[in-house]
Amino acid sequence: MNMNGMPKVGELIEVDATGIDDRGQGLATLEAGADERALLVPGLFPGERASVRIEALARHALRAHGRVHELLRASPSRREPPCSRHEQHQRAPGDRRPKPSCGGCPLMGLELDAQREAKRAWILREYGLELDGPDGIIGGIIGGAEFDYRWSSKRVVGGEPGRLRLGSRAAGKRRGDHIADMRGCLVDHPRIRDGFDALELLANELGIEPWGEAGGDLRYVWAKTNGTQLLLTLICGAESSRAARELGPRLHELGIADGVACSVQSSSGNAIRGGAPQAIAGLAQLDLDAGLELGPLGFLQPNPEVAALAYRDLVALPNGQPPPPAELAFDLYAGAGVTSRLLRERFERVIPCESYPESAARLGIEPQTVEDFARAWLDAASPTPALVVANPPRAGLGESVCASLRELAAPRVHLMSCSPQSLAADLDRLRPDYELVALRGYDTLPQTAHLELVAWLSRRPQSPA
């Protein structure tokens, strides 16, 4: 023990897991007098008890990290992870030097219903967001299949020429930048899974060089499918890329991909999107439902089956009924235009706003940030929309957009969010003028802690000035 009674790094202690965190790690509490720390333990699930070895104590946060040494009481919902490359299969209890393993499915060791309950409890405990149900209008967490659901997936490229590997960066600072093997990933759509495996083999036959800090070639691969066709985008480190010149055309010639594109990302850091994509061979875009098209770097919801349910609800009322016909609606962060199309079924005029150039071009609009769009609309004293729909990125709406929405004063605002943290912050910013009517969760990424949320807000009655 430390002077304050906290356990030391390397010490074994017994703990009870009370929940999960935003990365799907087990959550327990360390107490020593008046001091309290959150203990995060991968592979430990709510209700379980384990002997845990302390691996790190955060210096600037009340947080500690540990690893399961021995499971003392297992959850009745615990199962053997179906994926052979799951971290639990790569590391024996007490092993302090694990192989690099994929950490992308931290909840796979739990049955699906228990995963969803853990997510529901996490967002309520951490952010005060309570999903409506089971007896409310909105019914808890909606989800589809637990495997083969990803229609958009990315890989980091590692290894060396002839031994190139596609995978993910292994988590944990002791693993550095090692690439975890993801061959045969169970959550990827079979078309994507087969495409990645074939690309890896072909790249090694050609001796393609992975990108690294000292330079190189192939950096990432981004795959998208519409359920039948496959579009592969090679993210290269420089314009002079053998991967683009030689690998790309062969991927199409051999029928591995229906379309191949490349994009250059030469900056430091881990950003995947590079410069404007260039078509190499075959299809330059994927055709989606209802005539929508998606380009090489365009955003596609990884789980379109469940995302479609969220989009449908986003443009409807909380009880599932369509909104009353009206003249004007805004679709902010419109992306590929799915919600714009749905809104046009009920509104005479729908105005989308999108900042990413490729997506904006497909919507037939100029790229523009929501901040600039809202400011220009307010400055012009233009009509107030009957409904504002917004699906912002993980960072949320933020102070400026929330202030503009309050000033715009639309009767209804419907928000879709991939981050309960940013959604909770945005709801607080909007609370003076809007009340939360209903909240629903969509399990778009089973096996992970991710949860997509749709929130329905109604403008509060305003007191006369």
The residues that are catalytic are 418
Cβ(439)–Cβ(132) below 8 Å: yes
Question: Residue holding tokens 């950490």?
Answer: 103
Q: Which of 446, 448, 441 is nearest to 23 (CA)?
A: 448
Do you find a cis peptide bond into 318, omega within 30 degrees of 0? no
Could you give the 3-state DSSP secondary structure of residue 406? helix
Tokens encoding 457? 């807000």
Q: How far is CA 61 from the centre of its chain?
A: 25
333 annotated to bind ligand = yes
Could you give the 3-state DSSP secondary structure of residue 174? helix
Cβ(408)–Cβ(98) below 8 Å: no
Q: Which of 254, 58, 332, 89 is nearest to 173 (CA)?
A: 58
4 annotated to bind ligand = no
Distance of alpha carbon 191 from alpha carbon 308, whole angstroms: 20
Q: Rg of the chain over CA atoms, in angstroms?
A: 24
Q: How far is CA 381 from CA 7, 8, 332, 384, in A?
A: 61, 62, 19, 9
354 annotated to bind ligand = yes
Q: Is 80 left (phi over 0), alpha (psi -120 to 50) or beta?
A: beta
Q: Which of 121, 93, 96, 119 is nearest to 106 (CA)?
A: 119
55 annotated to bind ligand = no
Q: Which of 116, 130, 143 is nearest to 309 (CA)?
A: 143
Binding residues: 301, 333, 354, 391
Binding residues for S-adenosyl-L-methionine: 301, 333, 354, 391
